Structure 1
Amino acid sequence: MVGSSLTDDEKTTANRRLKIGFVLLVAGSMALMSLQIDPTPLEVAAVFGVGIGVGLVLLWFVLRNFREFRQSLR
């Protein structure tokens, strides 16, 4: 059987980067969508900040459900 080629530290770093990327993707998407209503730069920044919060909530929700799913497979 072939094992993972990543060390535990590399896995931790990769997981952290994926989580940060997910949150930034949600926040960036919300900021880009706000450009459709011709906002001021302050409003775009505010939407980006709210997007970070929404991204964190979505990340928590996805990870919680993923943990429950993995436990149901065992």
Structure 2
Amino acid sequence: MVGPVSREDRLTASRRIKIGFVVLVGLSAGLITLQGDASLLAFAFATCAGLVAGAIVVWLAFPQGLGFRR
């Protein structure tokens, strides 16, 4: 039988999901700019802006904090 999930495992999984979501939003913003034949600078700016937007969305969706720290 499998026992209950420990608090440490739950926090690790939550942290990975949050980081993955932030990266997904950031890369999505960058890839959208590449479809419009943007320059490398525009791609980098859009990716950074997407990462910030993703962090804000995670912060709003999980009011207890980003949970990146232990």
TM-score by length of 2: 0.77
Report the structure, 1 or 2, having the larger helix content. 1
Higher relative contact order (CA 8 A, sep 6+): 2
Can you give the 5+ residue segments of structure 1 that lack an aligned partner in the other structure?
68-74
State the structure with more CA Rg. 1
4+ residue runs over 3 A deviation: none
TM-score by length of 1: 0.73
- How far 1:14 moved relative to its partner? 0.7
Identity score, percent: 37
Written as runs of structure 1 = structure 2, the 5 A alignment for 1:1-74 is 4=4, 6-64=5-63
Can you give the 5+ residue segments of structure 2 that lack an aligned partner in the other structure?
65-70
Equivalent pairs, count? 63
RMSD: 1.8
